[in-house]
Each structure stands twice: as C-alpha cells, then as structure tokens.
Amino acid sequence: MAAAAFLAYESTREVNPITGQTQHIGISQDQEIALGLQSAPQMAEQFGGADPDGSVQQDVSGVGERVVAGSAARDSGYRFHFEVLADRRTVNAFALPGGPVFITRALLDRLENEAQLAGVLGHEVGHVVGRHTSERIAKDQLTQGLLGAVAVATSDEEGRATSAAQVAAFVAQLAQLRYGREDETQADELGVRLMSEAGYDPRALIAVMRILASASGGGTQPEFLSTHPDPGNRAEHLQQVIAERYPNGVPGELTLGRPIVGAAAGDASAP
C-alpha cells in the first residue's frame, strides 16, 4: 500500500511555468477553476458576504486586475476575481483554487495605500499560480495512502490499529503545517514579484507585515497569520527577497499608489 501511494504521488509531477519548480499536482487546472467557482459563494458567506460598498469593491478589483494584467499571472490561465467581504472583525485574506481572491473589510481598513493592497492580493494570487491547493491535495492523497499502510502494518492479531493510525495522523498534521509555512513563504516571494511587475513598490508588503503584527494587540493573532510564519521573520525574509531582486535599490518608478479610501486612519467605522 505504501509503495502504491508513493508511485501514485510520483506520477503527479509537473513543472510550474510561473515558478519553474517541479511540483506534485493532485488535480488539473480546469478542476482547480471548477473547485474555486463552486466553493466561492459558501466561503464568502462565512465572512458576511460581499461588502455592500460598490466603490470599495471597484477599487480593490482595479488593484487586483492591475497586479494580474501587469505580471506573469496574466498568462497563467486562471480566472481571477477579487472581492471585499463585509466582515469587519476578522483580519483575513484568502484565495481559492482557480482564481477567486477575497479580502475582509477588517484587513482592508487597516491598509494605507494601493501598494499594500497589491502586496496582499499579490500574495494570494501567488497561492493560485503556485498551485498550492493542488499540491496539498496530492500530499493528502499520499498521506491517506501511507496512513492505510501504517494501519495495516501495526495492527494486532484482532486488527485493532486505532492507536497507530492516530500517531500517524498526528505526524501527518505536523508535516501539513510545515508544508503550509513553505507555501506562505513562496506566496510572499511571489507577492513581491507580481506586485513589482505590476509597478508597485514591494517594500509596502513589509509594511503589511507590521500592520498584521500590530493587529493582534498582544492577543490572538489575525486569521491571516494563523498558519503563517511569524510576521517579524516574514518581514526580514521579504527584505532579503527585495534586496536580491533589486540589488541597486528599488526603482523610483515603483509606486505606493493612492491612499486607500476608508483606511483605518481616516474611517471612524473601521475596527
């Protein structure tokens, strides 16, 4: 069973045209798009549905579309759609496979300019073009196959393997967390690349990390950081990525864009 699981996993290898990396992919691009479209309404409803402010929706869509159109993401084949969710308490942004990208009003209202928004959206677009969900599915398929093998190998004479399966499941969860952190790091790196290609100053993404760190207020961290590396460490890594991309300094033509209307500094209704 373990050998069959590994063979099936190895057969899913593909080269990602955006990152140039070889990945294990569990579903096709068309399946990713279908899955994202099917899941989007239910996921949006969990965060209060679409924000009713049409101008905010238009502004966020405009920045997201600029990030896609001005970067390598435009040739990815995914159907990107950007939407602000009405939730003013949960600081979060997320992407579904295939292209739907969401940001809560609670996070949007903490951002100060278009470049910071472009960094958040670029990070989420990075998850999509990085095919992280499809990678996770392939890994889950491997894990399930290995769990079955462990359960059989460690069963006693009466076939009881619950304890061994629980231990294996715990180890698998630790591995999933590690993979998630790697995905987040790559999404940060892709966020820098995509927002820069679209004309935004990537240093704004470092400012986002500081905003997210302060959003916790010493309490529970924002949902956006729940599976992510420490924001301080991420800021340091982002500085390294930017320095490697622009060894002579960030070009002056890369912009912070306009201030965000409704940002926390100027909107009394912001949390």
Torsion on CA atoms 159, 165, 167, 171, rounded to nearest 10: 150
CB 33 within 8 A of CB 79: yes
Q: Of 209, 210, 197, 207, which Cα lies nearest the Cα of 245?
A: 197
CB 250 within 8 A of CB 204: no
Report whether 248 contacts 93 (CB < 8 A): no
Range list of β-strands (E), the chain? 13-15, 22-24, 81-85, 93-95, 100-104
Task: For residues 203 and 78, give the distance between their C-alpha atoms in angstroms, rounded to a whole number.
Answer: 26
* Exposure string for 85-116, b = 16+ CB within 10 A, e = fewer: bebbebbbbbbbbbbbbbbbbbbbbbbbbbbb
Query: How big is the chain, counted in residues?
Result: 271
Out of 83, 112, 114, 124, the active site residue is 124
Q: How far apart are CA 202 and CA 191, in angstroms?
A: 8
- 29 close to 78: Cβ distance less than 8 angstroms: yes
Is 124 noted as a catalytic residue in this protein?
yes
- How far is it, in rounded angstroms, from Cα 187 to Cα 19? 11
Are the C-beta atoms of 245 and 196 separated by less than 8 Å?
yes
Active site residues: 124
